[in-house]
């Protein structure tokens, strides 16, 4: 079995995997980083979004081997101890999550949006979230949270 | 207590772990030495299994065991049950064909369970499943409920001739016929309540485990009601004593009804764990969720409303065919009967109602309760009918509703379909909603849309639902196999921190916060010193789980009662410590005071004294730890008015929801932020049903054509607007909190409001859901042709 090595949340990691192992399986099964979720099998739902070399990626859509040498960031790496990232804090403040299953993907996706567009409008946020499905919130409070999180990140 | 008590928008205690990726969902759990299960599912809607050859698969790498229906028979594993007996017009119980966890000799829907492969890894299990050879004799399929009763339709079960599960009725037929005879006007509609697939974002999952040292099982499951799952697994399916089974439902990623039921997969994993001597884990792929999660709705209905010359409703006649799917899921039978037809009075004083329901079997996935469960079907029917009547009578739709509302002084109000509404103020919610959407300004907005070439429409929906499920004796008399009370347990620690154990289950609703608010308010404990425990049959005394918007109304009331017991005991302890008579002790928010003095003890001091009882009332038990069970006196009746406004693009048929106002009366509200969030989510699912979602089976082959997120259109962020939310508060008079329940309201209210708006914009009498661009475009072409 091939060995893959990458940096995940700032830590060098390495593991033997079957060639067909997806990045999300590598994160969840090999590294026990279970904050990244699998909500579908057609790369539609976005529960598995992580950052690979600074870009948001659906980790169910890429092989672990394709992330060889990459810098990967997951939801577990965002907070500083008990102090949440401003985007995480905005999700809590604005009740942008209910069951929490889509949440890690939403937050990781939102951060990539803010990177491209530091002051997104409601319309921008709704368009950007096309690849993230939430069944609980009706998106209303997710949109509020992301615009507020973006504002907090500008400060 | 205003900042953390009842009525405060407390930020959720559970959010930190979810936001930092530290939630524990079933698939996040891995047990030592676990093996992985993969289910081989039927590729046919209906077929005889002539033979199954597992020889080659058994030799595949990593395979631990392969089990089939023959093993189910050999081990005498029972049938999956339906826990609600509905009696037909003649008083006979519904037809209840066997539902084996692995098919014995016949498969009855695409996705039915044929075999389970257990292997060292999931890929190995999946690879091996491809080597199983099943010889099927394919039989005809029947998927459309309206066709299931036809002569010559494929027969799903020998035990249910003509595919009829039951033919049921409610209401006074003769009185209703008489009302129609005296009517000035009758409005008639044929409607389909489209079939939906729940699609909680977390797919179902289960881990079965067996400990031979204690001869006991553990089942980790994505369940909305772990105790009921344990009851069914033990008493009906596996024949295990309940004390030898632990069910754990950890963080669960949404349910919407689909995770209430006892499914084949958790049953098989638990049974197989003992057989193979290892924990057995299964997690659904989304494709499996589409195929095998219980679906929702799927009604075909003809309805007629009789009115006098002023538009006063005289009678309602309803004839419904409801699809049960291939087998009866856990509560399937009660959905199109006691959760549907009993709501047909809606918010109105219609004096005579008669409804017939035929439930039918088809070669499709089982159908059961999905957010709202029966009540959305009732509200859709009533509110489409009322809106159509208003158009026919040329009366403003808000005005026609107002003329027929049950008035505040009429409560408690006995409807002609069994329920007694406890409280409400329907006119007030209507007025608030009209204000919130600026109803009067609609013609100007319509004109403005027309200038841009768009068709604009507005639609109302005034719904009532029966929640807080449910008074045990009542549901028992209607056929429920269980009581629907709830338990609440409050345990103080010596240093004053508190754990609340509740039998309800949170899978997004925020119970860890709202239940803590109740105790923080009543007992004056800081909210960060309170933890809510749920979802584990070994920790929580007992519970009936979460569905039917019951967690606050029934579960919260049980916690309220347990707090009462804590206060009663606290008064005895305080009286002793303060050297006063017990009847002189007053309690408020955790402070026990001698009346008219400044002598007092706090709940923290009381708890310490209870656990370190050195100076303590003679004969009183130490400890501060109380359990209460609450059985509601009646259902609760949340009600509200939603108004939707849409714009339609004439060229593409795309419907855009441009304005939405929701005013709901949930009685007392514990956490407005959480309640609004529940309303948002419900509206999104309701708009989803009306605009986007539709479960479609191929009529010939019975294949599910909408089996992925690429084919089944889930609402996404850019399909929805932000919502305007208002509330009125008529407290529930019969539970101690005054709460009514809010989880399902949006999904009930939204579809008729949206379809009333769409048909208003298009100027057509009716069109079926979902109002997809293709369908709307076709309607536009037809109306254009008719105008030529």
| pLDDT level of residue B32 (50, 70, 90 thresholds) | very high
- Between the CA of residue B718 and those of A127, B656, B772, what are the distances in Å? 6, 10, 15
**What CA–CA distance (Å, rounded) separates B458 from B644?**
6
Give yes or no: residues B423 and B512 share one domain.
no
Q: Is residue B19 part of a domain?
A: no
Q: Which two tokens stand for residue B575?
A: 């009286």
Q: Mean per-residue pLDDT for B234-239?
A: 97
Per-residue tokens: B234: 């033990």
pLDDT band for position B1 (50/70/90)? very low
Token look-up 């485990």 returns B209
Number of domains in chain B: 3
Domain that holds residue B517: 485-630
Domain at B751, CATH number? 3.30.365.10
Interatomic CA distance for residues B248 and B263, integer angstroms: 15
End of a domain among B630, B664, B697?
A: B630
- Nearest-neighbour CA in chain A from B21: distance (Å): 4
Q: Encode B254-279: b = buried (16+ Cβ within 10 Å), e = exposed.
A: bbbbbbbbbbbbbbbbbbbbbbbebb
Q: Which of B244, B270, B292 is the last residue of a domain?
A: B292
Distance, in Å, from the CA atom of A97 to the CA atom of A149, rounded to the nearest integer, reads 14
Say whether both B761 and B679 belong to one domain.
Answer: yes
Statement to judge: residues B639 and B496 lie in one domain: no
User: What CA–CA distance (Å, rounded) separates B252 from A75?
Assistant: 18
Strands (E), B522-609: 530-533, 585-588, 591-594, 600-602
- % of chain B surpassing 90 pLDDT: 99
Task: Tell me whether residues A34 and B28 touch, CB distance under 8 A.
Answer: yes
pLDDT of residue B513: 98
Domain with CATH 3.10.20.30 in chain A: 3-77
In-domain check, residue B163 = no
Quote the pLDDT of residue B752. 98
Range(s) for CATH 1.10.150.120 in chain A? 86-154
Is residue A58 exposed (0-12), middle (13-18) or buried (19+ Cβ within 10 Å)?
buried
Whether B18 is covered by a domain: the verdict is no
CATH of domain A3-77: 3.10.20.30
B507 contact residues in A (CB cutoff 8 A): 99
pLDDT band at residue B788 using 50, 70 and 90 as cut-offs: confident
- Residues B660-710 have pLDDT tens digits of 999 999 999 999 999 999 999 999 999 999 999 999 999 999 999 999 999
Residue of A38, A99, A106 best to disrupt the B interface, most CBs of B under 10 A: A99
- B68-78 tens-digit pLDDT: 999 999 999 99
Query: pLDDT at residue B340 above 80?
Result: yes
- Mean pLDDT for the stretch of residues B147-173: 98
**What size, in residues, is chain A?**
155
Residues 648-687 of B with CB under 8 A from A: 673-674, 676-677, 680-685
Look at residue B768 and tell me whether its pLDDT is greater than 60: yes
3-state secondary structure B422-484: CCCCHHHHHHHHHHHHCHHHHHHHHHHHHHCCEEEEEEEEEEECCECCCCHHHHHHCCECCCC
User: Residue B726: its pLDDT value, please?
Assistant: 98
Return phi, psi of residue B702, to 5°.
Answer: 75, 15
Is A99–B199 a contact, with Cβ atoms under 8 angstroms apart? no
Residues of B in contact with A72 (CB under 8 A): none
Interface-testing mutation among A47, A124, A138, with chain B (most B C-beta atoms within 10 A) = A138
Other C-beta atoms closer than 10 Å to the C-beta of B51 total 8
Q: Determine, yes or no, domain membership for B7.
A: no
**Cα–Cα distances in angstroms (integers) from residue A152 to residues A86, A89, A100, B11, B567, in the given order:** 6, 9, 22, 18, 44
Q: Which tens digits make up the pLDDT trace of B608-652?
A: 999 999 999 999 999 999 999 999 999 999 999 999 999 999 999
Residues B441 and B563 in one domain: no
Residues of B in contact with A102 (CB under 8 A): 201, 253
- Looking at residue B2, what is its pLDDT? 53
Q: What is the mean pLDDT of chain A?
A: 97
Given a cut of 80, whether residue B738 has pLDDT beyond it is: yes
B440 plus B518 within the same structural domain: no
Q: What is the pLDDT of residues B480-520, one digit of tens each?
A: 999 999 999 999 999 999 999 999 999 999 999 999 999 99
Cβ contact, residue pair B11, A134, below 8 Å: no
If phi > 0 it is left, if psi is from -120 to 50 it is alpha, else beta; for residue B741 that is left
Three-state secondary structure string covering chain A: CCEEEEEECCEEEEEECCCCCEHHHHHHHHCCCCCCCCCCCCCCCCCCEEEECCEEEECCCCEHHHHCCCEEECHHHCCECCECCHHHHHHHHCCCCCCCCCHHHHHHHHHHHHHHCCCCCHHHHHHHHHHCCCCCCCCHHHHHHHHHHHHHHHC
List CB contacts (< 8 A) between B16 and chain A. Answer: 82, 84, 92
In a domain, B21, yes or no: no
Q: Are residues B535 and B446 in the same domain?
A: no
Q: Could you tell me if B284 lies within 8 Å of chain A, comparing CB atoms?
A: no
As a whole number, mean pLDDT of residues B535-560 equals: 96
CATH class given for the domain over A86-154: mainly alpha
Whether residue B653 sits in one domain with residue B605:
no
Distance (Å) from the C-alpha of residue A45 to the closest C-alpha of chain B?
8
Average pLDDT over residues B305-329: 98
Kindly indicate the confidence band of residue B786, based on its pLDDT and cuts at 50, 70 and 90.
confident
Would you say residue B183 lies in a domain? Answer: no
User: Chain B residue closest to A46 (CA)?
Assistant: B201
CA trace torsion B136, B140, B144, B145 (10° rounding): -90
Among B274, B292, B310, where does a domain finish? B292
Tell me, yes or no, whether B159 lies in a domain: no
Give the pLDDT band (50/70/90) at residue A1. confident
How far is the C-alpha of B553 from the C-alpha of B741, rounded, in Å?
A: 6
How confident is the model over A17-76, as pLDDT tens digits?
999 999 999 999 999 999 999 999 999 999 999 999 999 999 999 999 999 999 999 999
* Residue A98 touches partner B, C-beta closer than 8 Å: yes
Per residue, what are the HEC states of B286-352?
Answer: HHHHHHHCCEECCEEEEEEEEECCCCCEEEEEEEEEEEEECCCCCCHHHCCCCCCHHHCCCCECCCE
Is residue B353 predicted with pLDDT exceeding 60? yes
A134-153 tens-digit pLDDT: 999 999 999 999 999 999 99
Q: What average pLDDT does chain B have?
A: 97
**Which residues in chain A have their CB less than 8 angstroms from residue B201's CB?**
37, 39, 45, 47, 99, 101-102, 133-136
Residues B576, B551: one domain? yes
Does residue A102 belong to the interface with chain B, where contact is any CB pair within 8 Å? yes
B251 in Cβ contact with B23 (< 8 Å): yes
Q: What is the pLDDT at residue B625?
A: 98
Give contacts of B718 with chain A, Cβ < 8 Å.
126-127, 129-130
Instruction: Please give, one letter per residue, the 3-state secondary structure of B695-739.
Output: CCECCCCCCECCCCCCCCCCCCHHHCCCCEEEEECCCCCCCCCCE
| Residue A90 distance to chain B (closest CA, Å) | 10
What average pLDDT score do residues B74-103 get?
Answer: 97
Residues near B451 by beta carbon (within 8 Å), at least 6 away in sequence: none
B550-562 confidence digits (pLDDT tens) = 999 999 999 999 9
Task: Average the pLDDT over A76-100 and give the result.
Answer: 98
Smallest CA–CA distance, residue B673 to chain A, in Å, is: 7
Q: Nearest CA to CA, how far is B423 from chain A (Å)?
A: 28
- B174 and A CB contact within 8 Å: no
């Amino acid at each position: 079995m091939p060995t893959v090595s990458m940096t995940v949340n700032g830590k060098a990691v390495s593991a033997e995997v079957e060639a067909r192992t997806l990045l999300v399986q590598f994160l969840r099964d090999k590294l026990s980083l279970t904050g990244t979720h699998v909500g579908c099998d057609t790369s539609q739902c976005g529960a598995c979004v992580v950052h690979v070399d600074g870009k948001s990626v659906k980790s169910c859509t890429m092989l672990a081997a394709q992330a060889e040498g990459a810098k990967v960031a997951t939801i577990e790496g965002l907070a500083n101890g008990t102090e949440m990232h401003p985007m995480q804090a905005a999700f809590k403040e604005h009740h942008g999550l209910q069951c929490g299953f889509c949440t890690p993907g939403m937050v990781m996706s939102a951060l990539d949006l803010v990177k491209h567009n530091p002051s997104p409008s409601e319309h921008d946020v709704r368009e950007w979230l096309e690849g993230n499905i939430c069944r609980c919130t009706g998106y209303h409070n997710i949109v509020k949270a992301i615009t507020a999180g973006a504002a907090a990140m500008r400060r | 207590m205003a900042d953390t008590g009842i009525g405060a928008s407390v930020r959720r205690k559970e959010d930190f772990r979810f936001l930092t990726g530290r939630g524990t969902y079933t698939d996040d759990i891995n047990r030592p030495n676990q093996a992985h299960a993969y289910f081989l599912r039927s590729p046919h809607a209906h077929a005889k299994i002539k033979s199954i050859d597992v020889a080659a698969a058994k030799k595949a790498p990593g395979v631990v065991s392969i089990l089939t229906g023959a093993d189910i028979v050999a081990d005498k594993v029972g049938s999956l049950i339906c826990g609600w007996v509905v009696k037909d017009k003649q008083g006979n119980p519904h037809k209840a064909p066997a539902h084996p966890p692995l098919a014995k000799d016949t498969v009855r829907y695409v996705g039915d369970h044929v075999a389970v492969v257990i292997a060292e890894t999931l890929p190995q299990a999946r690879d091996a499943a491809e080597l199983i050879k099943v010889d099927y004799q394919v039989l005809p399929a029947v998927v459309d409920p309206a066709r299931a009763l036809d002569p010559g339709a494929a027969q799903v079960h020998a035990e249910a001739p003509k595919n009829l599960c039951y033919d049921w009725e409610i209401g006074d037929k003769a009185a209703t016929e008489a009302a129609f005879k005296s009517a000035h006007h009758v409005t008639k509609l044929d409607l389909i309540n489209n079939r939906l697939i729940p699609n909680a974002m977390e797919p179902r999952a289960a881990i079965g485990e067996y400990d031979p040292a204690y001869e006991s099982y553990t089942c980790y499951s994505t369940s909305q009601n772990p105790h009921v799952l344990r009851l069914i697994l033990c008493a009906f399916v596996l024949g295990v004593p309940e004390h030898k089974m632990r069910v754990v439902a950890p963080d669960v990623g949404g349910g919407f009804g689909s995770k209430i039921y006892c499914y084949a997969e958790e049953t098989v994993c638990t049974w197989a764990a003992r057989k193979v001597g290892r924990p057995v884990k299964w997690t659904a792929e989304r494709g499996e969720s589409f195929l095998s999660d219980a679906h929702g709705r799927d009604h075909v209905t003809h309805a007629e409303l009789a009115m006098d010359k002023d538009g006063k409703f005289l009678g309602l006649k309803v004839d419904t065919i409801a699809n049960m799917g291939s087998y009866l899921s856990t509560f399937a039978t009660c959905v199109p009967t006691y959760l549907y037809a009993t709501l047909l009075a809606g918010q109105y004083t219609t004096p005579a109602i008669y409804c017939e329901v035929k439930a039918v079997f088809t070669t499709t996935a089982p159908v059961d309760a999905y957010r709202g469960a029966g009540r959305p079907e009732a509200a859709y029917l009533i509110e489409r009918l009322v809106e159509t009547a208003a158009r026919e009578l040329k009366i403003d739709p808000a005005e026609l509703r107002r003329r027929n509302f049950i008035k505040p002084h009429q409560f408690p109000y006995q409807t002609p379909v069994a329920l007694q509404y406890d409280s409400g103020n329907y006119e007030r919610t209507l007025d608030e909603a009209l204000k919130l959407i600026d109803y009067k300004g609609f013609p100007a907005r319509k004109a403005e849309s027309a200038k841009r070439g768009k068709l604009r429409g507005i639609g109302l929906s005034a719904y009532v639902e029966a929640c807080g499920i449910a008074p045990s004796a009542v549901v028992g008399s209607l056929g429920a196999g269980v009581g629907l009370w709830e338990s609440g347990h409050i345990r103080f620690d010596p240093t004053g921190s508190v754990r609340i154990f509740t039998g309800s289950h949170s899978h997004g609703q925020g119970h860890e916060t709202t239940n803590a608010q109740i105790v923080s308010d009543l007992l004056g404990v800081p909210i960060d010193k309170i933890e809510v425990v749920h979802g584990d049959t070994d920790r929580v005394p007992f519970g009936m789980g979460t569905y039917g918007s019951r967690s606050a109304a029934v579960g919260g009331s049980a916690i309220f009662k347990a707090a009462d017991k804590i206060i009663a005991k606290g008064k005895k302890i305080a009286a002793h410590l303060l050297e006063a008579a017990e009847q002189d002790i007053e309690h408020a928010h955790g402070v026990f005071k001698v009346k008219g003095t400044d002598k007092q003890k706090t709940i923290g001091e009381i708890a310490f004294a209870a656990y370190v009882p050195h100076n303590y009332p003679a004969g009183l038990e130490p400890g501060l730890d109380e359990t209460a069970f609450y059985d509601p006196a009646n259902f609760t009746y949340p009600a509200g008015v939603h108004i939707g406004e849409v714009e339609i693009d004439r060229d593409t048929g795309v419907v855009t929801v441009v304005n939405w106002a929701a005013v709901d009366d949930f009685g007392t509200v514990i956490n407005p932020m959480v309640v609004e969030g529940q309303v948002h989510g419900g509206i999104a699912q309701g708009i989803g049903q009306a605009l986007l979602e539709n479960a479609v089976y191929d009529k010939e082959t019975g294949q599910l054509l909408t089996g992925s997120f690429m084919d089944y259109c889930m609402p996404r962020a850019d399909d929805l607007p932000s919502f305007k939310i208002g509330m009125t508060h008529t407290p529930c008079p019969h539970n101690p909190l005054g709460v009514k329940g809010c989880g399902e309201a949006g999904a009930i209210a939204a579809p008729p409001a949206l379809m009333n708006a769409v048909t208003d914009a298009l100027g057509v009498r009716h069109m079926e859901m979902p109002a997809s661009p293709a369908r709307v475009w076709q309607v536009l072409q037809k109306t254009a042709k008719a105008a030529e």
